[in-house]
């Protein structure tokens, strides 16, 4: 699947120009729809007063984003600032105890926020999984871990456990389910790593230090226990060259992204418009395609901002946390589609790779994807929409392998070898373009609604055929060509760096 051919500069320029013009045209349609309908009756609940001095209202349909930057903003700043302050003091006075400081500060923050009953509930789950890990049976750890996770996602155990948290503050449900779910995943990682340890066992205190690291506690990302333990146990951590510059750059990018989203929400109501399907159906095909694409880009930006802020703090603590998710614009394969790289790394290590092996055979790959998406469904909370989302993405991941196997099949491989490299590259890019829109459509069901997904499919595939369908596919094809060329250049750079290191 990886034919390394370079695109000539004129062809690259044409692809880039087509892509920019198409995005500009679709964006103009969304801008006009937002500007002319900001006072629409159906929009009143989710389009609120914004920048009065330019007469723009703001899209506030995403409660999670609004929560972060209103009711939760001061809590985030206060809690993370305290963590950074105490971490700095500890690293100056007694760096050998910094892991203890992280755990104590995190436990006190959770205790003060959620109360002693919640703390005891989590400790009970931690103790249960720790005890099972001493038996060194991976299947038993996975079984108990998934049962613990199910107890937070399924009734009646869910309601019974949530009753342990007293109080009625606005963020109670968000923090309860976030902290509980991530705690179970961390405990499972600890238990599985303890099973793989050849001699002895990790201590229960090691699990507590891992679980109650505050920056990751409520919202992730998840670092697997082996990585966290190795990094946090360094007695004299040393910063790499340019590391502080990279940390400042990441912090600046996160702040710039927050400002950009705020500006975007004042001019494009991409989250409110899909809620009014009657109005959405009146959009042009280009505006509708831009709306679907923008929803996925926004969800990526939201994840990048959240993990960017948390990861900045973690890097100050000399940790190397999971990277931000890969931008949806650069995706054309299901294997790289994920909005939480920590969860993705966890699933790949303990489920997907463990079951699927090298992912070259159809049977093991099907079993691996079914197991992976079954756990993902449980993590997201079983319901009809999640079942559909998991089924579609599981099919997409397997379909890619089926197509790859077909391309490697004798007659097809000989037919491809008989054509030029340019034609082969174009055929693969065309498949990538179709795959890109499959990724967009399949994920709309969880980001918006089933009705909006059906509307996008009907307009762009059926009623828009052939003109809109083929033109939008061509624009996406141009984008895939640019992405593949960028990947080729990055691969060449990595090869050069590897060659330099080998020579040195």
> What pLDDT, in 10s, does the model give residues 316-333?
888 989 887 777 777 788
- Is residue 438 domain-shared with residue 471, that is, in the same domain? yes
Q: Domain check: are 203 and 138 in the same one?
A: yes
The residue assigned the tokens 């051919």 is: 5
496 class by beta-carbon count within 10 Å (0-12 exposed, 13-18 middle, 19+ buried):
exposed
Same domain, 362 and 270: yes
Angle of the 204-211 helix axis to the 172-196 helix axis, nearest 10: 140
What is the predicted pLDDT for the residue at 7?
Answer: 63
E-strand ranges in 114-199 read none
pLDDT tens by residue, 269-302: 999 999 999 999 999 999 999 999 999 999 888 8
Tell me, yes or no, whether 457 and 322 share the same domain: yes
Instruction: Tell whether 276 is covered by a domain.
Output: yes
Q: Is residue 421 part of a domain?
A: yes
Residue 12 is predicted with a pLDDT of 83
278 with 427, same domain: the answer is: yes
358: tokens are: 């090298």
- Among 215, 232, 249, the domain boundary falls at 232
102 and 22, same structural domain? no
Report DSSP letters for 247-299, one per residue.
HHHHHHHHHHHHHHHHHHHHH--TTTGGG-HHHHTTS-HHHHHHHHHHHHHHH
Residue 25 and residue 109 in one domain = no
Residue 372 vs residues 76, 348, 356, 391, 435: alpha-carbon distances, Å: 32, 8, 10, 11, 21
Residue 209: per-residue pLDDT:
94
Q: What is the pLDDT of residue 448?
A: 87
Does residue 37 belong to any structural domain of this protein? yes
- The pTM of this model reads 0.89
How far, in Å, CA of 75 to CA of 407, rounded? 53
Residue range of the domain that includes 300: 9-54+263-373+399-503
Using 70 as the pLDDT threshold, list the residues of the chain that sit under it. Answer: 1-8, 166-170, 504
Judged by phi (left if over 0) then psi (alpha if -120 to 50, else beta), residue 179 lies in: alpha
Q: In this structure, how many other beta carbons lie within 10 angstroms of the beta carbon of residue 294?
A: 19
Same domain? For 216 and 343 the reply is no
Q: Is residue 387 part of a domain?
A: no
Question: Which distant-in-sequence residues (6+ apart) come within 8 Å of 208 by Cβ?
Answer: 103, 107, 126
- Residues 219, 349, single domain; the answer is no
- Burial degree of 499 (CB within 10 A; 0-12, 13-18, 19+): exposed
Identify whether the C-beta of residue 492 lies closer than 8 Å to the C-beta of residue 500: no
Encoded tokens for 276:
């009014």
pLDDT confidence of residue 148: 95
Same domain, residue pair 195 and 302: no
Q: Is residue 64 part of a domain?
A: no
What is the structure's pLDDT at 1? Answer: 40
Pick the last residue of a domain from 181, 212, 232.
Answer: 232
Same domain, 14 and 79: no
81 and 196 together in one domain:
yes
The answer to whether 436 and 285 are in contact (CB under 8 A) is no
Q: Is residue 466 part of a domain?
A: yes
Q: Does the residue 245 lie in any domain?
A: no
**Tally of domains in the chain:** 2
Residue where a domain terminates, one of 193, 212, 232? 232
251 within some domain: no
């Amino acid at each position: 699947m990886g034919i390394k051919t370079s695109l000539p500069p004129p062809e690259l320029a044409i692809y880039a120009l087509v892509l920019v013009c198409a995005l500009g045209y679709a964006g103009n349609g969304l801008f006009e729809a937002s500007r002319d309908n900001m006072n629409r009756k159906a929009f009143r609940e989710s389009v609120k007063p914004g920048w009065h001095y330019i007469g723009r209202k703001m899209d506030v349909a995403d409660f999670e984003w609004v929560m972060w930057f209103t009711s939760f903003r001061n809590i985030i700043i206060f809690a993370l600032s305290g963590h950074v302050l105490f971490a700095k003091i500890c690293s100056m006075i007694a760096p050998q105890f910094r892991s203890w400081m992280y755990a104590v500060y995190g436990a006190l923050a959770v205790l003060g926020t959620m109360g002693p009953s919640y703390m005891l509930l989590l400790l009970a789950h931690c103790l249960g999984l720790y005890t099972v890990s001493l038996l060194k049976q991976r299947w038993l750890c996975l079984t108990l871990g998934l049962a613990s996770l199910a107890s937070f996602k399924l009734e009646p155990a869910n309601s019974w456990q949530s009753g342990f948290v007293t109080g009625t503050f606005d963020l109670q449900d968000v923090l309860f389910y976030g902290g509980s779910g991530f705690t179970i995943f961390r405990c499972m990682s600890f238990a599985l790593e303890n099973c793989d340890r050849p001699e002895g066992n990790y201590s229960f205190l090691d699990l507590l230090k891992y679980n109650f690291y505050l920056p990751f506690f409520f919202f992730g990302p998840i670092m697997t226990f082996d990585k966290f333990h190795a990094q946090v146990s360094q007695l004299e951590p040393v910063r790499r060259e340019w590391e502080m510059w990279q940390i400042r750059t990441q912090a600046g990018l996160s702040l710039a992204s927050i400002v950009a989203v705020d500006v975007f929400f004042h001019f494009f109501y991409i989250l409110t418009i899909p809620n009014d399907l009657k109005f959405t159906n009146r959009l042009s095909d280009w505006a509708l395609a831009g709306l679907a694409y923008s929803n996925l880009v926004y969800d990526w930006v939201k994840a990048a901002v959240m993990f960017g802020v948390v990861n900045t703090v973690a890097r100050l603590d000399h940790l190397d946390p999971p990277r931000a998710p890969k931008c949806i614009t650069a995706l054309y394969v299901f294997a790289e589609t994920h909005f939480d790289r920590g969860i993705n790394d966890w699933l790949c290590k303990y489920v997907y790779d463990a079951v699927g092996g090298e992912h070259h055979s159809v049977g093991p790959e099907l079993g691996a994807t079914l197991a992976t998406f079954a756990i993902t469904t449980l993590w997201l909370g079983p319901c009809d929409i999640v079942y559909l989302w998991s089924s579609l993405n599981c099919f997409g991941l397997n379909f890619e392998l089926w197509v790859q196997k077909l391309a490697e099949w004798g007659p097809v491989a000989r037919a491809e070898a008989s054509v030029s490299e340019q034609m082969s590259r174009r055929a693969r890019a065309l498949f990538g373009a179709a795959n890109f829109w499959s990724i967009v459509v399949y994920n709309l069901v969880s980001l918006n609604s089933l009705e909006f997904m059906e509307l996008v499919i009907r307009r762009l595939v059926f009623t828009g055929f052939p003109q809109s369908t083929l033109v939008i596919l061509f624009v996406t094809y141009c984008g895939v060509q640019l992405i593949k060329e960028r990947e080729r250049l990055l691969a060449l750079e990595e090869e050069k760096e590897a060659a330099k290191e080998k020579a040195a």
